[in-house]
Amino acid sequence: MKIKASTKRKLKSFFTVPVTISLVILLGILIMAIFSEQLAPYDPNALDLANMLKGPSLQHLLGTDKTGRDLLSRLIIGSRATILSAFGVVVISAIIGIPFGMLAGYYGKAVDSILMRVSDIILAFPSLLLAFIFVSAFGRGVFNSVLALGIVYVPMLAKLTRSMVLVEKNKVYVEACHSIGFSNLNIMMKQILPNCIGTLIVQMTLDIGYAILDLAGLSFLGLGVQPPTADWGAMLEDGRIVITSAPLVSIAPGIMIIITVVALNIFGDGVRAYLDPSQRKLPSMKKFRRMVGAENE
């Protein structure tokens, strides 16, 4: 019963109003991305030159863009490309960055110096500028944009992993594993990594928000998703030309980006506070006494 009560308290402390609202928003956006084809009322690429730049109406709830395409449909369909691309960036950075950081932190010395100097070189450039250079060199398109940003995000995740491994490798349980005869690979992957995964998940959650912003920036510059594919960043570029006559064309995707990124940041902060006991809000003395009394019953 004590374990159940403790778990309930932890969950209650996690599901604060801001975190709950952000979770609901993120689930809604995820459902919209998964079932975008079923939810979109119109073909997002269907041209209707007779209805160019129409305002909101019963037929088109958010209006139409400069070629008569339904804005709501493009917003819904664009969520899939935006969210999947952001997830792709984080997956690539995790696949490369986590082993990268674990090797540097665990072995240290020359391995650490070489790997961290490579990270420092990459971090010396602004992330969006470096991604811009990669995409310009290898060609435009969503795949190259995701790959470029995934590589750019590697050093940040690698340095975080390295710092945690440096702390963990000096703990007693690692020394015990060495004395038992566990291999270095076993210690890194089965002993140290599980103790780091919580913090890494929090960082990757926040990185999804950053990736959405960077991908939107690349698409806005014409280097990411290519027409006529719907994407929130590309929709911002489409609306820039007609922002004075039809501001909703650019405002709608902009609001979606803001809502998604803010919800990710709030949810990530909530997860971090839940996983880190030092960041949890302590109950008042009156509430604490009630909790202790309930456990003793």
Give the Å distances, CA to CA, from 193 to 185, 224, 246, 259, 276.
11, 34, 51, 32, 17
Q: Is the pLDDT of residue 5 over 60?
A: no
For residue 254, give every residue at least 6 positions away whose Cβ sits within 8 Å of its Cβ, in sequence order, or none.
236
DSSP state of 70: B
DSSP bridge partners of 64: 70
Structural domain for 129, as ranges: 2-296
pLDDT digits (tens, 9 = 90+) for 168-184: 988 898 888 888 888 88
What global pTM score does this model have? 0.83
pLDDT at 6: 54
Of residues 230 and 283, more confidence is placed in 230
pLDDT at 240: 85
Cβ proximity of 39 and 70 under 8 Å = no
* Cβ count near 62 (within 10 Å): 19
Q: Identify which of 139, 199, 212, 142 has the alpha carbon closest to the alpha carbon of residue 165.
A: 199
Residue 228's CATH number: 1.10.3720.10
pLDDT digits (tens, 9 = 90+) for 12-34: 656 688 889 999 999 999 999 99
Cis peptide before 283 (omega within 30 of 0): no
Give me the number of domains the chain comprises.
1
